[in-house]
Amino acid sequence: MDFSLVLVLLTAAMAAIWALDVLWLKPRREASAIASGEAAQEPALVEFSRSFLPIVIVVLLIRSFAYEPFRIPSSSMMPTLRVGDFIFVSKFSYGLRLPVLNTKVLSTGEPERGDVAVFRLPSDPGTNYIKRVVGLPGDVVSMRNKQLWINGEPVPSALLGETVEIECGGFWFDAQVGVETLGDHSHQVFLSEQRDRPSPFLDRPVPPGQYLVMGDNRDCSRDGRIIGYIPESSMVGRAVRIWMNWDAESKRPLWHRIGDPIE
């Protein structure tokens, strides 16, 4: 369900009801009340529309141009983000776009290397993904023995000497914890002993106006190595903060994650 479309339709319906009442129904209702000597009664639907229209407009504006909430459904961005995290995404980081139409009306910035970005899947625009931007237009991105390379230079990284057991596609495997620095962003990654996956989107320049993205859980992520480059027009916004967490295993919030910035 496209919630933006629902909000736009709801706003239009409420505005139409309110305008119809002001221009036509209310004068007839008041004239009838004067003739009968009784107080004019405002219909419940008109009262509801008039009362809630400002609220719906504010929600639509905030969600379309400021911040939009998302829920993390998979482990592809672990350990940065985990299943059960609810996050805020800054919609104005990559430009203001009209709701539903997604047409950019104001340029306020571009994705930067290292950003955790939400984007619409090019093959299915109704599906949102969240990954880390690793390649900007013109970059040549490579993976060599679990090491990320950009434009012929290795990305600063190091293993922390810690191993964790993670689940991927119904299988469990051990992964080493590493730390990686992309631009101004330092973040942890999970690296297994699996071989680097081949991809037709690596070792070649990222096309103009497009980006290459990867999950921090490098060997358990359906990312740019599979789905290809992400056009700028598909970018939704930059993930900025965890506002809520609900752990499915313990059936309770993980309080220490709430309020954490997303790096």
94 and 140, same domain (yes or no): yes
**Whether residues 13 and 118 fall in one domain:** no
Average pLDDT over residues 46-72: 94
**What b/e sequence results for 37-66 when a residue is b if at least 16 CB atoms lie within 10 Å of its CB, and e otherwise?**
eeeeeeeeebeebeeebeebeeebeebbbe
The answer to whether residue 263 is domain-embedded is: no
The pLDDT value recorded for residue 157 is 94
Between strands 157-168 and 153-154, the pairing is unpaired
Q: Model confidence at 1, in pLDDT bands (50, 70, 90)?
A: low
What pLDDT, in 10s, does the model give residues 188-223?
Answer: 999 987 777 789 999 999 999 999 999 999 989 999
pLDDT for position 213 = 98
Q: 77 and 60 in one domain?
A: no
User: Are 100 and 208 in a shared domain?
Assistant: yes
pLDDT digits (tens, 9 = 90+) for 8-19: 999 999 999 999
Query: 120 in a domain, yes or no?
Result: yes
Q: Please state the rounded mean pLDDT for residues 49-61.
A: 94
Reply yes or no on whether the pLDDT at 257 is more than 80.
yes
pLDDT of residue 259: 95
| Whether residue 150 has pLDDT greater than 90 | yes
Q: 138 and 113 in one domain?
A: yes
CB 116 within 8 A of CB 104: no
Query: Which CATH number belongs to the domain containing residue 223 in this structure?
Result: 2.10.109.10
| pLDDT tens-place string over residues 133-145 | 999 999 999 999 8
Give the lowest-confidence range in 5-14, 231-240, 244-253. Answer: 244-253
Tell me the pairing of strands 147-150 and 153-154: antiparallel
| Host domain of residue 14 | 3-64
Q: Are residues 95 and 14 in the same domain?
A: no
Q: Which of 76, 142, 221, 234 is catalytic?
A: 76
Catalytic, 251? Answer no
The answer as to whether 89 is a domain residue is yes
pLDDT at 169 over 80: no
Regarding whether 211 and 92 lie in a shared domain, the answer is: yes
Options 131, 142, 146, 221, the catalytic residue: 131
* pLDDT of 170 strictly over 90: no
Residues 183 and 222 in one domain: yes
Check if 76 is active-site. yes
Tell me, yes or no, whether 39 and 119 share the same domain: no
Res. 155: pLDDT tops 70? yes
Q: Report yes or no on 149 lying in a domain.
A: yes
Give a yes or no: residue 40 inside a domain: yes
Provide the domain count of the chain.
2
State which of 64, 81, 97 marks the end of a domain.
64
Kindly tell me the sign of the dihedral angle through the C-alpha atoms of 63, 67, 71, 73. positive
119 domain-assigned: yes
pLDDT tens for each residue of 64-105? 999 999 999 999 999 999 999 999 999 999 999 988 888 899
